[in-house]
Amino acid sequence: MASRREKVARWESGRVIPELTAQFAIAHLHGVSQELVLTRQWPDWLYTATGHAALLAPWTAGEAARALTSVGQIPAPPPRQEFLIISGTSSAHEFISSWREVHDHPTPLPLLGSHFIGSEAIEAFQNRHEAIKRTYAQLGAGIARPLADADLATLALLCREARCDGRTAASLYAISGNAAAFCGWLAYEDGDQARAQSCYLAALRAAAAAHDRHLGSYAMILLAKHLNELADPDSAASMLDSARNVLNRAPYNPLLTAVLESSSADVHASLGQATLFDRCTDAAFTACSATPREHDLAFTEWVSMDQIAIMAGAGAATLGQAQRALEWLEPVLCPAGGTSRVPRRETAYHLAPTARAYLELGNFEAIAPCVEDMKIFLAHTPSYGAQRELSKLASALTDHSHIPDVQDYLNEADFLR
């Protein structure tokens, strides 16, 4: 299809349409006939293939069930696909507009299937979901992903076939949306970017069916973070603006507000907007610091002042504010020795911007421990995000190879093995 990620990025931006041979190759991965590729324009046939023929389909419970069923039916082992479902600002803006409008016109939520479920079943699925998240924290995405995908497939089945009252139906769609969002994160960490987006899109539909603005905003934030991570900050910024608009019409939740502001700060850093970065970072710290933990939603248990700090540090490093970045990163990650205050994956991921800050300040000796800790983590727990950050660090060091100390380190480091 394409030998370089840059070529795929041009397809995703909407500036370039893949040549027909590349489209046939993509279609083959999805089990789509060449006839459909020839009769439907790009990217319409791809949306059909991935269960999102329409990003603009009605926001109903039935469409939510179909989206959940689509992402629940995956081959084993799943293909890892780097191309994206939402490609370019035009498709992103159309989708954002349709999503935002649904919250002004909620639809009924009847579930009239053959399998009766009650609150006990919902609680059992919530407990199972929490257990899978603990498995991820301990063993990584590769181990947790099959468990999470199987859980999502069962929830999708119930969304099609359950019989329950409206309140239980809303809870079922909400936990299904939360499960889909988590599957999206695991797919990202496992390097399967097309599935990650499909899961986030299904989560958005499930949240709409549940009439849950908090969950819908969170799923949109995750989709925005995903696009920003893969070099589309403009679309990410539009998605975060839309999430903010919907969240402003929901009961105030400080932790979710902190996630929104911190994610917005990260996008502003990617766009080189230092003033907006400062504003959103301050808002994130304010929201998080005022939060007693009883305000936790099912999907914000990971948010903490330490987490906001390292995200702010990463953004500052992106803006070239090295000393400021370290003021946020060092106390949490303890790169010079000691115990990090955040989970292992977050530590490994954020050691890369820490090392880039050291590089900018000329503290070359401090880079080696960061790299070694990242490599140790990746040797035991593969992570697309952490590996990508290590590659970016290697590129930054190569750009400074004219400095003798950096060249000596590159000669010895054996970076990506």
Domain ranges of the chain: 1-49, 57-211
Closest by CA to 151, choosing from 166, 130, 120, is 130
Please tell me the predicted confidence (pLDDT) of residue 161: 94
Please tell me the predicted confidence (pLDDT) of residue 108: 52
- Joined together, the tokens standing for residue 61 give 């419970």
Please tell me the predicted confidence (pLDDT) of residue 97: 73
- Joined together, the tokens standing for residue 43 give 């990217």
Give the CA angle between residues 341, 344, 347 to the nearest 5°.
65
Please tell me the predicted confidence (pLDDT) of residue 325: 98
> Distances from the Cα of 120 to the Cαs of 131, 172, 272, 346, in angstroms?
17, 11, 49, 34
Q: Is 236 exposed, middle or buried (0-12, 13-18, 19+ CB in 10 A)?
A: buried
> Distances from the Cα of 240 to the Cαs of 42, 112, 226, 249, in angstroms?
26, 35, 12, 15
Name residues of the chain where pLDDT drops below 50.
Answer: 1-2, 51, 54, 416-417
Instruction: Give me the phi and psi of 19, to 5 degrees please.
Output: -60, 160
**The three-state (H, E, C) secondary structure of 131-178, written as one string:** HHHHHHHHHCHHHHHHHHHHHHHHHHHHHHHEEECHHHHHHHHHHHHH
Please tell me the predicted confidence (pLDDT) of residue 416: 47
CB of 219 closer than 8 Å to CB of 205: no
Residue 57: CB atoms within 10 A of its CB come to 16
For the stretch 145-185, pLDDT in tens is: 999 999 999 999 999 999 999 899 999 999 999 999 999 99
CA distance 141 to 135: 9
Give the CA angle between residues 85, 90, 96 to the nearest 5°.
75
Rama region for 357: left / alpha / beta (φ>0; ψ in -120 to 50; rest):
alpha
Please tell me the predicted confidence (pLDDT) of residue 316: 98
For the stretch 360-390, pLDDT in tens is: 999 988 998 999 999 999 999 999 999 999 9
How large is the C-alpha radius of gyration of the chain? 22
Cα 218–chain centre separation: 10
The structure's pTM equals 0.84
- Joined together, the tokens standing for residue 12 give 């995703």
